[in-house]
Structure 1
Amino acid sequence: MAIRTGEPAGRLARLRRTSGNVAVVAVAPYLFIKVLWAFGLFVPTEEMGGADWRAANAATAVLAAVGIVLALAFSRPWGERLPAWLVALPVWVGTGLLVPMLLLAPVLGPAAMNRDQDAGAPDFWIYEQILVMISLVGAGVGLPLALLGYARARWPEALGGPLDRGEPAGSSRALQATAARLLAVGCVLLGAVKVYWAAGGTLGIDPDRLDGRDIWWHLLTLSTGVWALAGAWGLVVLATRRGTRWFLPPMGAAWISSGMLFSYSVYNLLTLTDMQQPAPEHPLAAAATREAGAVLGVLMGMVVLLVLHDRRRAPGGDGGTSAPERVRVG
Structure 2
Amino acid sequence: MDLWDRAGRLGGYGAALALAPYLVIKVSWVIGSLVGLAPIGAGFDLAGWVVLNTVTVGMAATGIAVALALVRPWGARLPGRPLVFCAWVGTGFLVPLLPYAVLGSLLLPSDDGPKGGADDGPAMPGWEAVLVQIGFVGMGLGLAVALPAYLRRRWPGVFAGRTGDGGSWPLRVPPWPAVTSVAIAAVWLYWAAGGTAGIAHPAERDLTGRLLTGVLGGWSLLAAAATWMIVRGRPARLSRRVPLALAWLGAGALFAWSAWKLPFTLYLALARPAGASLPENLLVAAVLHVVAVGTGATMLWALVRARAGREAVSTGSTRSTGSTGSN
TM tier, shorter chain? 0.7 to 0.9
Deviation for aligned residue 1:281: 1.1
Task: Return 5+ residue gaps in structure 2 as ranges.
Answer: 320-327
Matching residue within 264, 267, 280 for 2:260: 267
1:247 match: 240
Other structure's SS at 1:80 match: helix
Contact 1:237 1:250 in 2 (8 A): yes
Partner of 1:283: 282
Contact 1:97 1:260 in 2 (8 A): yes
Counterpart amino acid of residue 197 in structure 1: W
CA distance in 1, matches of 2:146, 2:220: 25
**Which amino acid counterpart does residue 91 of structure 2 have in structure 1?**
T
Aligned equivalent of 1:5: none
Deviations 1:1-45 (A, max 9, x none): xxxxxxxx3433332332222112111101111112233446455
Report the CA distance between 1:114 and its aligned residue. Answer: 8.0
Q: 1:314, 1:144 → 2: CA distance?
A: 28
Deviations 1:239-295 (A, max 9, x none): 111135221221112111111111111111233444573111112211111111111
What do you get for the CA RMSD once the two structures are aligned? 2.8
Is residue 27 of structure 1 aligned with residue 19 of structure 2?
yes
Question: Match of 2:125, SS?
Answer: helix
Change (3 A) 1:92 1:145: same
Give the number of equivalent residue pairs. Answer: 301
Deviations 1:135-178 (A, max 9, x none): 1111111122122221221111333421133269xx643x13xx
Between the aligned partners of 2:307 and 2:186, the Cα distance in structure 1 is 28
**Out of 58, 61, 65, which is 2:57 matched to?**
61
Aligned residue for 2:325?
none
The match for 1:303 is 302
Q: State how far apart, in whole Å, the 1-side matches of 2:218 and 2:289 are.
A: 15
Match of 2:100 in 1: 104
Cα distance change of structure 1 residues 121 and 318 upon mapping to structure 2, 3 Å threshold: farther
CA distance in 1, matches of 2:60, 2:316: 35
Matched, 1:199 2:198: no
Compared CA separation, residues 138 and 318, structure 1 to 2 (3 A): farther
Shift of 1:319: 6.9
Contact (CA 8 Å) 1:71, 1:143: kept in 2 or not?
Answer: yes
Query: CA offsets per residue over residues 179-231 of structure 1, 9 Å max, x none?
Result: 1x32211111111111111111111111xx11111012101211221111111
Shift of 1:105: 2.2
1:112-147 Cα shifts (integer Å, max 9, x gaps) = 54869xx9943x522111110111111111122122
| Unaligned stretches of 5+ residues in structure 1 | 1-8, 321-330
In 2: Cα distance, 1:232 partner to 1:31 partner = 33
Matched AA of 1:259 = G
Whether the aligned pair in 1 keeps the contact of 2:40 and 2:49 (CA below 8 Å) is no
Shift of 1:308: 1.0
Whether the aligned pair in 1 keeps the contact of 2:40 and 2:46 (CA below 8 Å) is: no
The 5-angstrom pairing of residues 29-108 of structure 1 reads: 29-41=21-33, 43=38, 45-47=40-42, 50-106=46-102, 107=104
Does the Cα contact within 8 Å between 2:189 and 2:217 map onto a contact in 1?
yes
CA distance in 2, matches of 1:317, 1:95: 32
Q: Aligned partners of 1:304, 1:40: CA distance in 2, in Å? A: 43
Please tell me the residue identity of whatever aligns with 1:241. G
Corresponding residue SS for 1:91 = helix
Residue correspondence of structure 1 range 165-244 to structure 2 within 5 A: 165-166=165-166, 172-173=170-171, 175-176=172-173, 179=174, 181-206=175-200, 209-244=201-236
% same residue:
34
The DSSP-based 3-state class of the residue aligned with 1:152 is helix
Taking the aligned partners of 1:310 and 1:152, their CA distance within structure 2 comes to: 17
For 2:197 and 2:229, locate their aligned partners in 1 and report how far apart those are by CA, in whole Å: 32
Q: Which has the higher contact order (CA 8 A, sep 6+)?
A: 1
Contact 2:157/2:314 (8 A) holds in 1: no
> Which residue of the other structure, out of 251, 257, 272, is the alignment partner of 2:250?
257
